[in-house]
Structure 1
Amino acid sequence: MAKPHVLVLPMPCQGHVTPLMELSHRLVDHGFEVTFVNTEVDHAQVVAALGAASGGEAALGGGIHLASIPDGLAGDEDRKDLNKLIDAYTRHMPGYLERLIADLEATGRPRAKWLVGDVNMGWSFEVAKKFGIRVVSFWPAATACWAFMLKIPKLIEDGLIDDKGLPRRQETFQLAPGMPPLHTSQLSWNNSGAPEGQHIIFDLVTRNNKLNDLAEMAVCNSFHEAEAGAFKLFPDVLPIGPLFADREFRKPVGSFLPEDERCVKWLDAQPDRSVVYVAFGSMAIFDPRQFEELAEGLELTGRPFLWVVRPDFTPGLSKEWLHEFHQRVAGRGMIVSWCSQQQVLAHRAVACFVSHCGWNSTMEGMRNGVPILCWPYFCDQYLNRSYIINVWRTGLAVSPNADGIVTKEELRSKVEQVAGDAEIKERARLFKDTACRCVSEGGSSYENFKKLVTLLSE
Structure 2
Amino acid sequence: MAGVRHFGHMIPFLELSKRLARRGHAVTFVSTPRNAARLRAVPLELSARVRVVTLDLPAVEGLPAGAESTADVPPEKVDLLKAAFDGLAAPFAALVEERCAAGGDGDADGFVRKPDWIILDFAHIWAWPIAEEHKIACAMFLIFPAAHLAYAGPKHENEAHPRRTTEDYMAQPPWIPFPSTISYRRHEAATRAPACRPNASGVADIDRLWQLHHPSCRLIVSRSCPEAEPRLFPLLAELFAKPVVPAGLLLPGDAADDNDGGGDRSFLEAERWLDGQPRRSVVYVALGSEASVTADNVRELGRGLELSSVPFIWAFRSPSGGAPEVLLPDGFGRRVAGRGVVLVLAHAAVGAFLTHCGWGSVTESLFRFGHPLVMLPFVGDQGLNARAMAARSVGVEVPRDYDDGSFRGADVAAAVRCVMAGEEGEEFARRAKELQEVVGDRVRQEEYVDELVEYLQRYK
Query: When the two structures are superposed, what TM-score results if normalisation uses the length of structure 2?
Result: 0.79
Change in 2 beyond 3 A, CA 1:36/1:261:
farther
Select between 104-113 and 172-181 the one with higher mean Cα deviation.
104-113
Shift of 1:434: 1.1
Q: Is the 8 A contact 2:145 2:359 kept in 1?
A: yes
Tell me how far apart the structure 1 counterparts of residues 400 and 300 of structure 2 sit (CA, whole Å): 11
Match of 1:275, as an amino acid? V
Shift of 1:176: 3.1
Q: In structure 2, which of residues 108, 112, 120 is the aligned counterpart of residue 117 of structure 1?
A: 120
Report 1:263-342 matches (<5 A): 263-264=270-271, 266-310=273-317, 312-317=318-323, 319=325, 325-336=332-343, 338=344
Q: Is the 8 A contact 1:298 1:305 kept in 2?
A: yes
SS of equivalent residue, structure 2 residue 420 = helix
* Greater RCO (CA < 8 Å, at least 6 residues apart): 1
Change in 2 beyond 3 A, CA 1:330/1:59:
farther
Q: What whole-Å deviation, never above 9, does each CA across 1:200-245 have from its counterpart, x for those lacking one?
A: 434434542323x423332211121221221130242121222123
Match of 2:52, as an amino acid? L
Q: What whole-Å deviation, never above 9, does each CA across 1:293-319 have from its counterpart, x for those lacking one?
A: 212321222222111123x53533464
SS of equivalent residue, structure 2 residue 224 = coil
Aligned to 1:100: 95
Aligned to 1:383: 384
Shift of 1:59: 6.9
Aligned to 2:182: 181
Q: In structure 2, which of residues 436, 440, 444 is the aligned counterpart of residue 436 of structure 1?
A: 440
Q: What whole-Å deviation, never above 9, does each CA across 1:374-406 have from its counterpart, x for those lacking one?
A: 11121111211221223x232111123587532
Change in 2 beyond 3 A, CA 1:456/1:193:
closer
Aligned to 1:136: 139
Aligned to 2:227: 225
Q: Which runs of 5+ in 1 are unaligned?
A: 1-7, 51-55
Corresponding position: 1:30 with 2:23: yes
Aligned pair count reads: 421
Corresponding position: 1:209 with 2:215: no
Shift of 1:84: 2.6
Aligned to 1:3: none
Q: Is the 8 A contact 2:2 2:29 kept in 1?
A: yes
Tell me how far apart the structure 1 counterparts of residues 74 and 383 of structure 2 sit (CA, whole Å): 22
* Identity across the alignment (%): 24
Q: Is the 8 A contact 2:170 2:189 kept in 1?
A: no
Corresponding position: 1:366 with 2:369: no
Match of 1:316, as an amino acid? G
Match of 2:223, as an amino acid? N
Corresponding position: 1:426 with 2:433: no
Corresponding position: 1:126 with 2:129: yes
Q: Is the 8 A contact 1:179 1:229 kept in 2?
A: no
SS of equivalent residue, structure 1 residue 405 = coil
Aligned to 1:42: 35
Tell me how far apart the structure 2 counterparts of residues 116 and 332 of structure 1 sit (CA, whole Å): 46
Match of 1:204, as an amino acid? D
Q: Is the 8 A contact 1:277 1:352 kept in 2?
A: yes
Aligned to 1:53: none
Q: Is the 8 A contact 1:19 1:140 kept in 2?
A: yes
What root-mean-square deviation, in Å, do the aligned CA atoms of Structure 1 and Structure 2 show? 3.6
Match of 1:33, as an amino acid? A
Match of 1:173, as an amino acid? Q
Change in 2 beyond 3 A, CA 1:354/1:200:
farther
Select between 355-364 and 167-176 the one with higher mean Cα deviation.
167-176
Q: Which runs of 5+ in 2 are unaligned?
A: 68-72, 238-242
Tell me how far apart the structure 1 counterparts of residues 274 and 193 of structure 2 sit (CA, whole Å): 35
SS of equivalent residue, structure 1 residue 278 = strand
SS of equivalent residue, structure 1 residue 66 = strand
Q: Is the 8 A contact 2:120 2:138 kept in 1?
A: yes
Change in 2 beyond 3 A, CA 1:287/1:251:
closer
Tell me how far apart the structure 2 counterparts of residues 372 and 10 of structure 1 sit (CA, whole Å): 32
Shift of 1:324: 5.1
Aligned to 2:6: 13
Q: In structure 2, which of residues 34, 51, 55 is the aligned counterpart of residue 69 of structure 1?
A: 55
SS of equivalent residue, structure 2 residue 257 = coil
Tell me how far apart the structure 1 counterparts of residues 196 and 296 of structure 2 sit (CA, whole Å): 22
Match of 1:377, as an amino acid? F
Shift of 1:182: 0.3
Tell me how far apart the structure 1 counterparts of residues 267 and 177 of structure 2 sit (CA, whole Å): 43
